[in-house]
């Protein structure tokens, strides 16, 4: 079957690399989604292990439609019974871009009606929808409809350790991609001097300890009655056997706000990594280290809700001064502040466009030859 993997905007390349490492497949990128051929085992592996992906879908079909009648008829032709059990609860959501059918709520009801009609004919009884959930996602792009089964259910950034959110927290899969792009592999100290609720450090720790990102959460596909997913527990046990205790890791979180640190400690506890991360209250301006070599990965406050522009400018200038004192260190900063390099008086070796939710940011990397 055709599997589609979505990733945060700007980070598809990182997810593509992850997929290659995980399944040894070269994926095609179509409209921001990575496409591969696979089976239910591939679906399980992707959901359990992909740290940077957003969701894993099975494509059910695609066709052209410009009217509601064409949409209804196209959906009715697709093989939903392979996936959806007769008591399945069907939820339809989706989007439409540059298409005649632009009213997404109306499209969702037509699609649901067509799916139910098809399934009622197949199962020869009315559907009662009392069973497990099947999330059906549609995308209409230039009058071309693609219909998928969302096997993740909740977005994959939800690992299960973050119940409460801090101030402007990063999504876990975006944090994980930032770590990947820094090339940090667990061998050097890693510091987040604006750690907030701890996402970057926790994700770094999960990665370095080989703890699967989906170990402590549920996925919709595990409840699908038409598939045998009894192998999943074995898959988890195999992954657990490859985990390490990370006792040599040096992970340090700094934040000025004690409430944020309280959250960070709670999240680290939920993720089972309390022993590996040291959280400390302090102003980034006072950060010093006894190590000659290390990596900073941070997303500082950026104005709007969190700070006014003058304060942001001052904070970023001071960040530049603090970083100057860490001779030999590397640093990677995600921020929407476009004059960041000017403020810290340093030109990045690499600058990438990355979206944090809907917010367009740049990810600035300052590598070091000494480190």
Ligand X SMILES: C[S@@+](CC[C@H](N)C(=O)[O-])C[C@H]1O[C@@H](n2cnc3c(N)ncnc32)[C@H](O)[C@@H]1O
**Under the rule (CB under 6 A), what is the footprint of ligand X?**
166-170, 193-194, 196-197, 199-200, 254-257, 260, 283-284, 299-301, 315
Q: Please, which residue, 27 or 260, has the CB nearer to ligand X?
A: 260
CA distance linking residue 25 with residue 18, whole number of Å: 10
To the nearest whole angstrom, how small is the minimum distance from the Cβ of residue 200 to ligand X? 6
Q: Which residue is nearest to ligand X (CB)?
A: 196
To the nearest whole angstrom, how small is the minimum distance from the Cβ of residue 314 to ligand X? 10
Q: Please, which residue, 27 or 173, has the CB nearer to ligand X?
A: 173
Count the Cβ atoms, other than its own, within 10 Å of residue 9.
Answer: 16
Which stretches does DSSP call E strand in the chain? Answer: 2-6, 28-30, 33-37, 55-64, 89-97, 133-141, 144-150, 190-192, 251-255, 277-281, 295-298, 330-335, 350-356, 359-366
Residue 200's H or E segment, with its range, is helix 199-208
Contact 35, 27 (CB under 8 A): yes
Q: Please, which residue, 78 or 263, has the CB nearer to ligand X?
A: 263
CA distance linking residue 319 with residue 81, whole number of Å: 57
To the nearest whole angstrom, how small is the minimum distance from the Cβ of residue 168 to ligand X? 4
Q: Please, which residue, 153 or 196, has the CB nearer to ligand X?
A: 196
To the nearest whole angstrom, how small is the minimum distance from the Cβ of residue 282 to ligand X? 7
In the numeric block, which tokens belong to residue 222?
Answer: 């595990």
Give the residue carrying structure tokens 């970083």: 323
| Closest among 179, 177, 188 to 370, alpha carbons compared | 188
To the nearest whole angstrom, how small is the minimum distance from the Cβ of residue 342 to ligand X? 20
Contacts of 39 (CB under 8 A, 6+ apart): 1
Q: Please, which residue, 229 or 257, has the CB nearer to ligand X?
A: 257
To the nearest whole angstrom, how small is the minimum distance from the Cβ of residue 164 to ligand X? 11
To the nearest whole angstrom, how small is the minimum distance from the Cβ of residue 103 to ligand X? 36
Contact 166, 196 (CB under 8 A): yes
Rg, the chain, Cα only: 23
Q: Please, which residue, 221 or 287, has the CB nearer to ligand X?
A: 287
Q: Please, which residue, 221 or 254, has the CB nearer to ligand X?
A: 254
């Amino acid at each position: 079957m055709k599997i589609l993997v979505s990733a945060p905007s700007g980070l598809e390349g990182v997810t593509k690399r992850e997929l290659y490492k995980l399944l040894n497949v070269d994926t095609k990128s179509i409209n921001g989604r990575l496409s591969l051929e696979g089976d239910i085992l591939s679906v399980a592996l992707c959901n359990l292990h992909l740290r940077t992906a957003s969701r894993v879908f099975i494509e059910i079909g695609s066709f052209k439609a410009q009217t509601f009648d064409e949409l209804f008829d196209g959906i009715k032709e697709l093989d939903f019974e392979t996936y959806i059990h007769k008591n399945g609860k069907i939820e339809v959501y989706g989007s439409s871009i540059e298409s005649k059918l632009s009213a997404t709520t109306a499209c969702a009801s037509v699609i649901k009606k067509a799916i139910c009609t098809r399934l009622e004919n197949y199962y020869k009884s009315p559907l009662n929808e009392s069973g497990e959930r099947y999330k059906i996602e549609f995308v209409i792009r230039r009058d071309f409809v693609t219909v998928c089964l969302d096997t993740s259910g909740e977005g994959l950034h939800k690992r299960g350790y973050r119940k409460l959110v801090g101030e402007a927290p990063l999504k876990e899969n975006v944090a994980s991609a930032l770590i990947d792009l820094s090339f940090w592999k667990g061998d050097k100290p890693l510091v987040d001097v604006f750690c907030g609720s701890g996402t970057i450090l926790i994700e770094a720790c999960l990665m370095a300890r080989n703890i699967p990102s989906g170990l402590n959460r549920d996925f919709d596909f595990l409840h699908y009655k038409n598939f045998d997913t009894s192998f999943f527990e074995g898959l988890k046990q195999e992954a657990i056997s490859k985990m390490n205790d990370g006792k040599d890791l040096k992970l340090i979180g700094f934040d000025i706000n004690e409430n944020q640190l309280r959250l960070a400690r709670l999240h680290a506890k939920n993720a089972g990594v309390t022993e590996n991360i040291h959280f400390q209250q302090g102003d980034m301006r006072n950060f010093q280290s006894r190590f000659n070599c290390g990596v900073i990965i941070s997303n500082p406050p950026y104005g709007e809700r969190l700070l006014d522009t003058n304060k942001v400018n001052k904070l970023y200038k001071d960040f530049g001064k603090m970083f100057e004192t860490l001779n030999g260190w590397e640093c990677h900063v995600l921020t929407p502040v476009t004059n960041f390099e000017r403020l810290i008086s340093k030109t990045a070796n690499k600058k990438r466009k990355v979206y944090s939710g809907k917010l367009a940011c740049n990810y600035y990397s300052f590598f070091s030859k000494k480190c």
